[in-house]
Amino acid sequence: WQGGSFVPTMLDELKAQIQLGHSPGTYCPKAQPAHKDFCIIDSLGFRTVLLNFCGCDLNVTHRQQLMRACLWPATSLDPQTCATFNSIWLFEVQNCLGKISAYNFVCSLELLMMG
């Protein structure tokens, strides 16, 4: 908040953390930090977040933890980027009905981020 209006701020600047593998608001005693600049693509643009994987059950992979949170990892090993299931669905609809390319979809998300 600055001078009577909101100031755009990224979640990582607020030091807000996303903890996977546990109920919302709970702490993982064996939290494993993801990459510092972990990027989530959602239907309103790109978000850099502070994300922690759960280290309590080593049989559950990072990829599985992301998918359980409705996040599709960009790579199967050591993901640094993921897309929300909603953003994937939005692209699918726009691609099928409007023939929008992946490039133009990403450009539209960039424009949404700029305001």
Give the tens place of pLDDT for each residue, 95-113: 999 999 999 999 999 998 8
Does 24 score more than 90 pLDDT?
no
Rounded Cα–Cα distance for residues 63 and 25 (Å): 21
CB 49 within 8 A of CB 79: no
Does 1 score more than 80 pLDDT?
no
Rounded Cα–Cα distance for residues 52 and 96 (Å): 35
Please say whether the dihedral angle defined by the alpha carbons of residues 77, 28, 21 and 52, taken in this order, is positive or negative. Answer: negative
pTM of this structure? 0.84
pLDDT at 35: 93
- pLDDT, tens digit, 9 for 90 and up, residues 25-73: 888 999 999 998 899 999 989 999 999 999 999 899 999 999 999 999 9
